Amino acid sequence: MARHLISSGSTFEWEIGYSRAVVDGDWVFVSGTTGFDYAAMTIAPGVVEQAEQCFRNIVHALEQAGCSLRDTVRVTYMLPDASEFESCWPVLRKYLGEVRPAATMICVGLADPRMRIEIEVTARKAQ
């Protein structure tokens, strides 16, 4: 099966040189996704609102790849302020609570100081 690239339409993808997601066979690799609303190129100030938007962006990419959050096997959460992670738990549970993928949270600097969370997922299409 050929490799397939998925774009969100974000200018970041073209400017930096990456894809929102890459489909390779049954595997779907979704790039680190921030809370930007790519249609409006805006970002909410709060980490919880950004987490919600991250998942909306991820769901859209997974749908384009022919799968859903139910197919997620791995998730990485990246936050510049680890103390904000717990406030995101209800959002994480809302989207992945039934799926329960392998997960990691790391504290990192993000590319834009407005970004409060970035989420990356790996999915495997159901057989």
Reported as a single tens digit per residue, the pLDDT across 8-55 is 877 778 898 999 999 999 999 999 999 999 888 899 999 999 999 999
What SS3 state is found at 54?
Answer: helix
Where in the sequence is the domain holding 43, given as residue range(s)?
4-124
pLDDT at 123 over 80: yes
Crossing angle between the packed helical segments 85-96 and 47-64, to the nearest 10 degrees: 30
Share of the chain above pLDDT 70, in %: 98
The number of domains in the chain is 1
Residues forming beta bridges with residue 112, ordered by sequence position: none
Q: What digits encode the pLDDT tens for the residues 54-86?
A: 999 999 999 999 999 999 999 999 999 999 999
Distant-in-sequence, close-in-space partners of 8: CB < 8 Å, separation ≥ 6: 20, 38, 57, 60, 61
Q: What mean pLDDT value characterizes the chain? A: 94
CATH (domain of 34):
3.30.1330.40
The burial class, CB within 10 Å (0-12 / 13-18 / 19+), for 65 is: buried
